[in-house]
Structure formats: C-alpha cells, structure tokens
Chain A
Amino acid sequence: MAEVTHIVDASALIAYYRRESGHERFAEILRCEENVLAMHSINLLEVYYDYYRSDGASIADQVWGKTVSFLQLIDKLDEPFLRIVGRWKATEGISLADAFAAACAEHHAACLMTADHKDFDPIEKKKELSIIWIR
C-alpha cells in the first residue's frame, strides 16, 4: 500500500464529520496529494460503535463505508505490533484504542491527527510522537 503519512484517531474523524472547529485543518491535510491518511480498524471500530450508540446502526454503517473510501484501513494485528500497543497502554495510561493509534503512528513513522488534548498532551510533551492537533 501507499506509505502512510498520517494516522487519524477517533476524535479527529468525528470533528471532521461534524464540521467542528478543526475540520478545515483535517481537510487541508487530506487535500494534499502526497499525504496518505490511515486509521487502525480498532479506532474505526471505536467510531463505529459510538455512532451506533448515538445515531443508530444505519448511520454507523454509513460512517464505516464513508471512512474506508478516503482513509486506508490498517488491520495489523501481528504479535510485534500488539506488543507495541501493549507498551503504549501500559506506560502512558491511555485507552486501548488510543494505544492502537499511537502504535500505528510509531510503526509507520507517521503523524497522529487528534483533537484529544487530555490524553495526548503528555505524550507530545515527552516528544514520543509527532502530533498534529486539528484544533
């Protein structure tokens, strides 16, 4: 597949779908041809079930279909990768989904796009990941 340049987390995607503050930044990054945006299926799952919960199955399905049309889906679950996920979860105290996002960013040496300052501010301070705040 094309080399991934940006990993998208749930908060960034939801903000983009909702046209919230930061959606233009997301759009700008997507517009740039040299960028390849991707998301781990676990993070998409997180988005899927939240939409399912708030807006119903139909919307959730639509969200899934829409997302895979412009984001690459990473479905990596091999052992070395899962260990990376585990490390992130254990050392940073973040959610499992966030750990998958962080692990993808680390694995692909890509930037992580997020709107979640609470969980990722400490990580940015430690300069462990390159983070793009969409807002």
Chain B
Amino acid sequence: MVGIEILEVEGFRGIGPRRVLSFEGKSVLLFGENGTGKTSFVDALEMLFTGEVTPLERAQGLSTSQHGKNICRKRTVIKATLTDGSEVSLENGQTPETPTAENYLAAAVQPRYILRRRQILDFIENPPKDRYEMLEPFLPLGEVMNIEQALRDAAKAAKSECDEARERMLTLARRIAGALGIPTPGQDISESTVCQAISSLLKSTGIGTLRSISELETARSSVDGKLKSLGDFEEANHIRNILSAVETLIKTLSDVHMAPLVSPLQEMWRFQRDVGAAFFEDVLERGLKWIRAEELDFCPLCGTRWDTKPRDRNALVKRIESELREMKGLIASRRCVIDAQRMLIDKINAANAASNSLKVLLEGLGRGEDVSHLDRIVASLGSLRDITQCRPDEMSPDKLHVVTDAWDDVRWEPSLRELAQRYEQVSASLPKLEDVEPLTRLYGLLGQIQELWGERESVLKTLEEATRDHEVKRRALLRAEEARKEVVQELFKKLDKEINNLYKRIDSDPERGNIRLELREATRGGVRLWKKFYDHDGSDPRAYENDARLDCLGLSIFLALRRFYRDEHSDFNLLVLDDVLTSIDTQHTVAVAELILKEFADYQILLTTHDRIWYEHLRDIQARCGVKSRFVNKAIHNWTLTEGPDLSEPDDESSHLERLIADASSPESVQDAAGAAGRLLEHILQEMRYSLRLSVQAKREERYGIGEIWPSFYKKAQGRYPGLYQKCQGTLDALNIRWPIRNWVGAHFNDWASRVGNQDGLNFARSVGALFKCVFCDECRRFIQPSMAPAGQLSCRCGHLLYPVPGKEAVKPVSREDLVKASAGAFKDARLDTELYLRWKREEAVAESN
C-alpha cells in the first residue's frame, strides 16, 4: 500500500515559508488553534491532487487561482512524496514509480476523501438531485449510460424503419386500391379484398374467381389466352392506327386551300396597279427613317443638297409621309398575303406530318404500293410549299394559276378514301377493339397488381424484421435499465447498511437510526434521505433531528461513502477530516473518535483539530485503540503572517537552542540564542497553560505571550506544585528575575533586546533550556501534567519525570484504562452494597432526628 511520506508546502494559503508535514507513511493528528494554518495543509493536499480547493471554488466571488496563493509570497510550491518514492508536485506533475502509485493518484483526483467542518452537512442539506450528483463519483455509471443510450438509439432507428415500412405499405395499399377502383383502405389492404375485386373483374370475362394472390399469374395467363383466341389483335390494332392516320391526313389535307391566299394576292395586285411600283414604298420608308435619324441635309438617293433649314426638311418629310399614306392600302394588302402564306405553310406542315405518320404505319405492314401513292401526294404539297415561300412581289397570277391547277389535279381525297375502305375491309376480319380493349386492360391491371403485391410482400417482410428488431432492442434496453436500477438500489441498500452501522456506533439510541437512501428516477436521479425518529420511520432528518445528530449523520454518510470509494479504488486509502470532530457534540465525540481510529485503521488519516483538550484526548484514544504506533501527532504552536505555521517539535527546538548556546561567540549569535530561547519558553508556557489550567488575564486576541502566562505559571509552581518548585527552583527563580529579557526577547526580537548583554542573554537561554528539561520527558515526549492522585503531584505520561508532593510518596502515573481495570468491581464480593449503605444511611438519619 502506498501512502504519503512527506508533504511540503510553500506560499499557499496560510503557509508562507516552506513547511514540511511529515507523515512518515502514517496517519497524522494535527492540532493547531484556530487560524494557525491547519486547514492550509488540507487545502494544499487537495490542490495538489485535484487541482483546486473546493471551498474556494464553491464560494461566490472566490477562486483557487485568485485566492490560493499566500499573500506574502510570490512562489507557490506544493509537493508530496509517497512512500514508494513517487513524487507529485504542482510544478512538475506526477511521476508515479509503481502501478499502485498510479492508481492512488488517479483515485485522488476526486476530492471525496476530504471532509471539512463546514461540509459535514452538505449531503443532508442538498436537494435530491444534488445528492445524486455528489454520489456520482462513487457510482461511475458513464459506461452503462452510454450503452443504454446506444440501445435507445438503435431501437429508435429500428422504429423509424418500421414506420417507414408501414408508410410504404399504406402507399402500396392505396395504389392497389386505386388500380382496382375500390375505396382507399385506412391501414393496409387485405388479400381477400384484392381477390374479391379482381374476381369481380374476371367474372365479366368469364374467367373464374381468384381465391388467393398466388393464383394471379394463372388468371393472367387465362386472360392472355382469351386475348389470343380473339385473333391477331396486334394486326387489328395496327390497321386501326392506319385508319386513324388516314382520317387525320384527310382532315389535314382538307385544310390546305389556295383560296385564302388568292384573295389577298388579287387585292395586292390591284393596289400595285393603282398605286405604282411596289418597290418604291420600301425606299420611301427607309429614306424617311434615315432622314429623321441622321438629320440629313441631302437626298439619300441622288445626293442633291437641299436647303438645310428645318422648314425645308420638314416639308420633305411631310411629302414623303403623304405618299406613304397613299401606299397604305398596298402595304396592308402585302401583309395579308404574307399572313395567308404563313397559315398555308402551317397547314401544309400538318398534312406532311400526318402523311409521315401514315407512311410509317404502312411501311410497318409492308404495304409498299400504298406508300408510293402517298409519296405522290406529299410531292404535290411540296409545290404548294414553294409558292408560299415566295415574296409577294415575286408572285404572279400565272404562277398562282399553275400551282392551283396542279393541286386540284392531285385528287388526293378519293385515293385516300379508297385506301381507308380497303383497310376497313381487312379489319373487319380482325378482332374488334371493343372486344380486345377490356381484356388488354385487364391483363395490364393484373400485371400491375402482381407487381404491386410483390412489392408489398417485400415491404411486409422488411416491416416484420424491423418490428422484431425494434422489439428486441427495446426489451434489451428495458433489461439494461432494470439491471442498472437494481444494482444501484442494492448498492444504496449496502450503503444504507454501512451508514447505519457507522451511525449506530456513534448513536445507539434505538428510537433513532434506520437511515435509508432512496433513488428516485422520477426526479432524474434524485436521492432522498430518510431516518427513523421515534415512531416516524421514514422522516426527513432535517425535520426532527438536532444539529448534533445531523452532524453525526453527515459524518456517517461521508465515512460510508469513503468506504464505498475504497471498494472501487483499493489502492487509495487517504482520509482527511478537517476539524470535524469539534462539530460533533461532546456526548458522541468519544464514540466518533474510536470509530474512526478503529474502523479506519487501514487508512492513512489526516485528522485536524483546534481543540487542545481533544488533541490530548485523541492521543489517549489512539493508545486505547492500539493504533498509537500508526500515528504521528503534530502541534502547530504559533502562526504569524510572515512565518506561517510553526510546526517545530519542542525537543527539536531544545536541541537547536543547545547548539546555538554552544556556538554563541558573537553578539549576533547570542541574540539568536536568546531569540530561540524565547520561542521555546513560549512553547513551554503554552503547554503549561493547558496542562496546569493556568488562569490568565483574558485578551481580545486570545493569543497569550510569555508576559501573560509566566506569572500564573510561576505562582502555581510555587503554591500548588511544591515538588516541581523545589526541584527546579534555581531555574524558575532565575527566569522570574530576568523578567525583561523573558518578556521582551522571546520570539519577537526588538531593538531593546539587542542591547541586552551577551552574558545575560546566554544565561537566559541556558535557563530556558534547563526549564525545558524539567518539564518535557525525552522518553514519552510529553510535557508534565498533574497526576490524578495524589493532588499536587506532577509527572509525565510515562512517569519518567515525576515531582511528588513533598512528604508524600510518589505515585507512578497509570493510564486511565489501567486505573479503571484496577478499581472497577474491586470489592464486588464485599458485603456492603448500595442497598445496605442507603439503609444504614436512612437509619442514621432517623436516629439523628430522634
């Protein structure tokens, strides 16, 4: 198992100069009064492993980046060395040496192993949804949720396929119904409906009923057979087409008349005679245009200049316009001729087209002689075309006459009628259209239905497959959701059990307890919290419980979750409890402390407290629980803005002082020694203030220096603890005399103190060193304290340092547990019991009153 060996912090939160918290791979109990920097170590640990400090991130207006740095330092260094040599630092990141360390650091990213006093009620007071989110790091369901989502999407895709297939089925049903002429179905069309409709169609043809779609091909063959029996209807069809084409040709040729052209031509000629050479009007028109546009001052024909005055040009223009008006009739007639020509061309083209169509049909039947006859008609049309393409002034009455006569001689109508008659005779022996058509339509319809039904079958199969696919995937999704809920609820039950076990260890009141976590999917993964309160089995603890019990509940939940997290991350065993014990009420603190030390013995715990009494108590509980060797106990003695927390061990301070005394050769080194002595004396007196319960004049800041504590200590030593005073009188008196140095040198060296003589300074330092040896035991590393009995005796925990009451025998200190073992039931076999005692007491009282 990997753990923290050392934590080094510099320039972070309340820690200024570099400070090292040595875990030595063990748990750490860290004491420090409020504001001495304990939490700064906790914050540093969180920053190192997770990248932020939760209380700073949660508070509005604060952030780790802005408020994490120590205000006096430019540089921030946080570094941890693990027991396997792995290192983690803010600057260089992680360098795990082993896979275990890697797992450790990966698990440490989520700060679920740190509980601060103010967070103890977080879980209880948060709304259900936030509680679920707090549980999420303990319930990593990401992979499962992804699987569920993929199943959901797959089922949805299958459903879309179903819907598409159904849509297509509906479309096909409508098409089938439409083709059969039956009402459009709502959903799908049944085979029986189709068969019925087809059967009624088949009835008219004399073919039997259709019992199933599979018989459709047979029915179709029957229809085909019937068609074939009618004869060659293809030929009949062809001849019908020829007859139709002949009719069309006759009609188009009938539209081809010369008369519409003759009249305008005659009219035009009349104008030409009366009005003059036709070509002239062109010239006049153009010349007029030219004169107007170019403003010419000469005649465009002969070039003669005329008077350029506008009056003359205008006169000319007026003359031309007058002549043009006279030619109006001619122009109009010419237009009529052109229009008539165009109409005739269209009619000729239509006749040509009809003729070509007929020709193709005749060729298809192999009727070459009929095609030749047709060609002659087409050729005549060609002559007509020629005349329609002349310019009107190119046409003459003679020319017209020739063409008209030629066209009249063609005699196309009789020949075409004769052709039609011949083919009608032929078609008389061929199948009639009215007989063929219904069967042809029916044959086509049956084919169409066959095709549509086939398509429908294919779509139906797709629909069935898609439906099955959707159903299976939907079931798979349901099972996945069920499995998740079941497992999570089981985990919650397990968690409940764990929370209850832990809570009962703290509060064994049977009227309370039965804690339950309930997962509610309806509120998107909300978690409700229930607790028994007397006969209210499932009540919200916030409704009935007092703060102390809520604190205990909060702690139980946190510890249960921590265990949960350990199940998932067995290599990670860090547990940080920042001053949480002091929020638990006195009645339960011993139980809580024992719970943590025993049940979490395999964790590396960082436990901080600001309560001195609790610090000492916890040290004793460590021994009682048999975990003393697994703990490093540290005390922060002092904190200043520039120096940060002072974690120095008193014996280290003492050794340091001895070295300084030994090396003191210059005034500066004497001052150093005196300064160190002052700090050590402050430390000693802080300890004595606690253990001897010294009365000190109250101060606003609650920080007491040497000057405040010494008088009380000296007085008590003299009065209450004569054993100590007698043994250490020289030292105590020496320090008492040197009160200026004692009070002013200390840890806060000042100008006055710099004028203290070398010898005085050294003597002071030596006295402090001697006092330290009187009150601090090298063996048990504890300061002396009053013995339980006899009154007035002082001793260290192990009894190595012992100051008995003068005249009385020294009593070696015994642990409380040993005291209890030695005294409880010591006289259990004696005759005297409380009943007897109280009886005698009452008898004495009666006797007295008598």
Residues in A lying within 8 Å of B, measured CB to CB: 1-3, 10-11, 14-20, 23, 26-27, 30-34, 36-37, 50-51, 53-55, 59, 62-63, 66, 68-73, 95, 115-116, 118
Contact = CB atoms under 8 A, between A and B. Distances in A.
Contacts of A10: 837
Interchain residue pairs A-B with the least CB separation, the first 10? A1-B791, A2-B786, A19-B825, A54-B832, A17-B827, A54-B831, A19-B828, A70-B819, A55-B830, A3-B693
A69 B811 contact: yes
Contact of B827 (A30, A53, A59): A59
Interface stretch (B26-34, B628-636, B769-777, B839-847): B839-847
B820 A30 contact: yes
A69 to B, nearest CB: 6
A34 B613 contact: yes
Interface in B799-844: 811, 816-817, 819-820, 822-828, 830-834, 836-838, 840-841, 844
Which residue, of B616, B827, B832, B834, has the highest number of chain A Cβ atoms within 10 A?
B834
Given A1-B720, A17-B826, A59-B827, A72 B791 contact: yes
Interface of B: 590, 613, 616-617, 620, 693, 720, 785-792, 811, 816-817, 819-820, 822-828, 830-834, 836-838, 840-841, 844-845
A70 B789 contact: yes
B834 A15 contact: yes
Contacts of A116: 838, 841
B816 A51 contact: no
Nearest to B825: A19
19 contacts: A2-B693, A2-B788, A14-B832, A14-B834, A16-B825, A18-B825, A18-B832, A32-B816, A33-B616, A34-B616, A36-B788, A50-B837, A54-B830, A54-B832, A55-B831, A59-B827, A68-B789, A70-B789, A116-B838
Contacts of B820: 27, 30-31
A32 B787 CA distance: 14
Given A11-B837, A30-B819, A34-B616, A70 B788 contact: yes
Contacts of B791: 1-2, 72-73
A20 B836 CA distance: 13
Given A62-B827, A115-B834, 8 more contacts: A14-B833, A16-B823, A18-B832, A30-B823, A50-B840, A51-B830, A53-B832, A68-B790
A32 B590 contact: yes
A10 to B, nearest CB: 6
Nearest to B793: A1
A11 B833 contact: no
B789 A69 contact: yes
B617 A50 contact: no
Which residue, of A1, A50, A53, has the highest number of chain B Cβ atoms within 10 A?
A1
A50 B816 contact: no
Contact of A59 (B620, B693, B830, B844): B830
Contact of B617 (A33, A59, A71, A95): A33
Given A1-B791, A32-B590, A116-B838, A55 B832 contact: yes
Contacts of A54: 830-832, 836
B607 to A, nearest CB: 17
B743 to A, nearest CB: 27
Which residue, of B786, B790, B823, has the highest number of chain A Cβ atoms within 10 A?
B823
Contacts of B841: 95, 116
A72 B790 contact: yes
Given A2-B788, A30-B819, A95-B844, A23 B834 contact: no
Contacts of A72: 788-791
Contact of B824 (A27, A36, A51, A115): A27
Contacts of A68: 789-790
A133 to B, nearest CB: 13
Nearest to B828: A19
A30 B693 CA distance: 19
B311 to A, nearest CB: 139
B775 to A, nearest CB: 16
A32 B614 CA distance: 11
B788 A118 contact: no
B619 to A, nearest CB: 9
A1 B816 CA distance: 17
Contacts of A95: 841, 844-845
B577 to A, nearest CB: 21
Nearest to B819: A70
Given A3-B693, A16-B824, A31 B833 contact: no
B838 A11 contact: yes
Contacts of B620: 33
B343 to A, nearest CB: 130
Nearest to B621: A33
Contacts of B720: 1
A95 B834 CA distance: 16
A23 to B, nearest CB: 6
Contact of A18 (B590, B819, B830, B840): B830
Nearest to B832: A54
A63 B792 CA distance: 22
A18 B828 contact: yes
Contacts of B833: 14-15, 18, 20
A28 B834 CA distance: 19
A124 B823 CA distance: 28
Contacts of B824: 16, 19, 23, 26-27
B616 A11 contact: no
B813 to A, nearest CB: 11
Nearest to A22: B834
B274 to A, nearest CB: 149
A70 B616 CA distance: 19
Nearest to A118: B838
Contacts of A36: 786, 788
A10 B701 CA distance: 44
Nearest to A33: B620
Contacts of B838: 11, 116, 118
Nearest to A59: B830
B35 to A, nearest CB: 23
B831 A1 contact: no
Which residue, of B786, B825, B837, has the highest number of chain A Cβ atoms within 10 A?
B837
B792 A1 contact: yes
A11 B839 CA distance: 11
B834 A51 contact: no
A20 B834 contact: yes
Nearest to B818: A70
Contacts of A53: 832, 840
B828 A32 contact: no
Contacts of A66: 822-823, 826-827
A63 B827 contact: yes
B811 to A, nearest CB: 7
Contacts of A118: 838
A74 to B, nearest CB: 8
A3 B791 CA distance: 10
A17 B829 CA distance: 9
A11 B834 CA distance: 6
A50 B833 CA distance: 10
A98 to B, nearest CB: 9
Contacts of A69: 789, 811, 819, 822-823
A69 B788 CA distance: 8
